[in-house]
Structure 1
């Protein structure tokens, strides 16, 4: 274990490793440090609040009580955790980095690693779940809640293990010749392995969704002339488009950062990885901000649930003030009106509108 290490380098401050690898670090605040903290703080707060809203929406709306929504809720939990991780990073970056102990530095890195791993493994689980349900001609998975809970627990166990791997010894604290520049206490071999594993996961997910898309499109052409419910085919296609948007946003936001880590791990001296690492980190942070927007854009039921949550305090106030003024209508659990016929809080498994947010 790292924390029981007795090698000489372990007694050095964090700045020693930064100077050793050539990554600039200053005790004084520079303009870009103020920019990172000034922009990072409100973004992190928004990420936390937005993903909390997604989780609450899935919990309170019975229409979302299906395996795929539980996995999407877990995805929001991973984004929420990422927001907390970035918030911790914001308050431990720039000149604050010099004051960190080696343990605190590894905690900072472990939080980011865990959030990424949780998101990747969760997306893999969603891809497998969608592949199984689509190819068995089902709108929802038959997976029991117990299995979903076990799957979610497994996702977070894998994330914790992967986040703690550098802390458990795969680092360069006792072998300074293997230190990288982007993360000066990480071993280059760890960065290469971690980046390759995540990039491979991306390719696997893209391949799975491509296979599903081809199958759905082909089956839609065959079944459309012979079915009385063409809307179901459109529902499945809409479902896949939404999941592809989530996957696409994840790949776009994280691939540049993983490529930077891979190049740094391969000791590419001409790649100027330090020049681009900050931009890649900001882009990766934006991914946790994009997913709640995608859920809102693609799903009317999710938007309605958001309004129900956000307007709840105002409805309580109006109840005390009397019937005068503006009154916010809650989502009804009975027979919906024509305008809100697709926003009922009860869900029939065969309802096409129930899957638009997947």
Structure 2
């Protein structure tokens, strides 16, 4: 049957009306108000089954379908790339946590380790343990939790500031304790010294927890990104203040260790009978003190100096390159202050093997021993 031009145009108009009605029904059933209809004949993404233009004015009698071939839209899923620097910090935090958890367990389950020296070592281990956990949580918050939430950011940075500040101040407290054990050797093992140690530990933790709460109390750059330091959301001024405080602590530690060396050499000169033994012991002690100061300075000085001169506009790789050595200080601390102690070594051997090696010195070690 041959259709006239009028009938073809009528059928074509009827097809267009049906197509528009179907498109309106589809968009009204849940489509977005701002997106184009999936059945819109004017949409270039819609292809008709026979590849024919629905507005072709040809008078050829042809039957067309009203069902378009819809092309499925491809959705690109953005996957956040994990930085190798963040992986290194997370691994470092895990190592820090394991080391210091072991130190805390030994001190907790050994009743004889309750001297002022061990109280300070335990406080240092707790600070470093929290620092390690803070590094792990920072990795989790950055890649597994929405870091745009202010609470998450402030919690992470507050924990890291408190933990690392407590770690540095506990190292200073251990230095003070060693100095007092030599300067007041006769009265060091008194109840007064134990009380002073507890007061010092409480003061350290109250001060550090206050520093950690400052970003949550409004001392942050979340409202003004231009004032951020290299460690967001800490402001530039706060970062400079913390860095200058660290430099003062480091200078005080150097002064105290210098006084310790002077006292040790004076004691060596006064004991003429054991001159050779004391000279060797004193030389070894001075070498150990130098190693402690060099390790502490090498870990923290780059980050402190960079915090003073840099801001958030500097390349982030420089921040990582200075932060990673600073975190390594918490890896070294258990080795320097805990695992070298014969009493802690004895407890570790007893816990792991049930025996003590014959070459392990069981001589009581005082705080004057480095």
Above 0.5 in TM-score? Answer: yes
Contact 1:123/1:247 (<8 A) preserved: no
Candidates 296, 299, 305, aligned match of 1:259 = 305
Deviations 1:167-197 (A, max 9, x none): 22222334454233x2343321111111111
Mapped pair 1:284 → 2:326:
yes
Unaligned runs of 5+ in 1: 1-26, 312-328, 332-336, 344-350
One of 257, 261, 269 as aligned partner of 1:213: 261
Shift of 1:352: 5.9
Match of 1:12 in 2: none
* Cross-structure match for 2:127: 78
CA shift in 2, pair 1:295/1:129, >3 Å? closer
State the Cα deviation string for residues 84-108 of structure 1 (Å, max 9, x = none).
1111112123x55763311211111
1:1-358 pair list within 5 angstroms: 28-30=79-81, 33-62=82-111, 64-93=113-142, 95=143, 99-138=147-186, 140-142=188-190, 143-180=192-229, 182-220=230-268, 222-225=269-272, 227-228=273-274, 242=288, 245-265=291-311, 272=314, 274-295=316-337, 298-311=340-353, 329-331=354-356, 339=358, 342-343=361-362, 351=363, 353=365, 358=370
Structure 1 203/301 Cα, relative in aligned 2: closer, same or farther at 3 Å? same
Paired with 2:111 and 2:280, the residues of 1 have a C-alpha distance of: 23
Deviation digits for residues 7-58 of structure 1 (CA, Å, limit 9, x no counterpart):
xxxxxxxxxxxxxxxxxxxx7433xx25245444443222212111112223
8 Å contact from structure 1 (residues 52, 80) kept in 2: yes
3-state SS of the aligned residue for 1:99? coil
Q: 1:115 to 1:239 in 2, by over 3 A?
A: farther
Provide the C-alpha distance between the structure 2 equivalents of 1:243 and 1:141, rounded to a whole number of angstroms.
23
RMSD of Structure 2 on Structure 1 (CA): 3.2
Contact 1:235 1:355 in 2 (8 A): no
Q: C-alpha deviations, 1:265-311, integer Å up to 9, x for none?
A: 5x8x7xx4523111222212211111223346633443332222233
CA pair 231-152 structure 1, distance change in 2 beyond 3 A = farther
CA offset digits 1:51-97 (Å, max 9, x no partner)? 1111222334455331112111211111111111111112123x557
CA distance in 2, matches of 1:109, 1:85: 8
Offset of residue 162 of structure 1: 1.1
TM-score norm. by structure 1 comes to 0.70
Cα distance between partner residues in 1 of 2:131 and 2:257: 25
Which is higher, the Rg of structure 1 or of structure 2? 2
Q: CA deviation at 1:144?
A: 4.3
In structure 2, how many angstroms separate the alpha carbons of the residues matched to 1:98 and 1:43? Answer: 23
Separation in 1 of the partners of 2:277 and 2:106?
26
Q: In the comparison of the two structures, how many residue pairs are matched?
A: 292
Shift of 1:160: 0.2
**1:71 touches 1:152 (CA, 8 Å); kept in 2?**
yes
Alpha-carbon deviations, 1:293-342, whole Å to 9, x = none?
Answer: 3346633443332222233xxxxxxxxxxxxxxxxx435xxxxx9x3573
Give the secondary structure class of the aligned counterpart of 2:141.
coil
Unaligned runs of 5+ in 2: 1-77
Counterpart contact for 2:178–2:367, Cα < 8 Å? no
What per-residue deviation string (whole Å, max 9, x for no partner) do you get for residues 207-262 of structure 1? Answer: 21112212312331x2231x458756766765665565444323221221122211
In structure 2, do the counterparts of structure 1 residues 293 and 106 end up closer, same or farther at CA, with 3 Å as the change threshold? same
Q: Contact (CA 8 Å) 1:192, 1:261: kept in 2 or not?
A: yes
**Which residue of 1 is the match for residue 38 of structure 2?**
none
